[in-house]
Amino acid sequence: MNSVKHKTEFLLEADQLADYLRTVAADLEKGIVQIGTTQGQVEGMLKVSISLKAEGIGYRVKLKGRFPEGVDSSAAAKPGSYAALKARMKADFKAIRADLSSGALPAQAQVEAFVADCARMVSFPGKGDELYSGFSGAVVSLSRAAAANDIAAVRAAVEELAAFKHSCHAKLK
């Protein structure tokens, strides 16, 4: 049987780990498995693995899975839990900013995971729709800057994203 491998990796603060694992467990009880932007039925999964590694004040979470060919792996797949998505985004954004504060470019895999989660976030209606266009533009800037290894442009994009985050959260919370 032909299969497609999917994986995602992100950082969670220690106090977010239990909530994230509860979300994974709840999804599994519903028969759903979510790996990055890919969502499939547990029944169709060929293999799933989750690993946790202590890193600083949090944990690096790695999810890997093999789906049979033909499983929808687009960002249009069901979005999963908004709370888990936001927790991942918060941890990844914090790690990206920490890397920049120490003078280093963030890892490309971490930026890619954050960018993918941003794309999923803007698919949720009623969560700041009027800001999504500008926010998405800043996400594209971050992605391009990271791909070009341009630390100054990455810093500028991250600061723009921080401003969007502050604006949106102040408006909606």
- Domains of the chain: residue spans and CATH: 3-68 (3.30.30), 82-172 (1.20.120.10)
What is the arithmetic mean of pLDDT over 81-104?
88
Q: Does residue 78 have a pLDDT over 60? A: no
Looking at per-residue pLDDT, the higher value among 79 and 116 belongs to: 116
Give the pLDDT of residue 74.
Answer: 38
Tell me what percent of the residues of the chain surpass a pLDDT of 70. 88
What is the arithmetic mean of pLDDT over 72-82?
47
Q: H/E element holding 38? A: strand 38-41
d(C-alpha 54, C-alpha 106), whole Å: 18
Full-model pTM = 0.55
* Beta carbons of 13 and 93 less than 8 angstroms apart: no
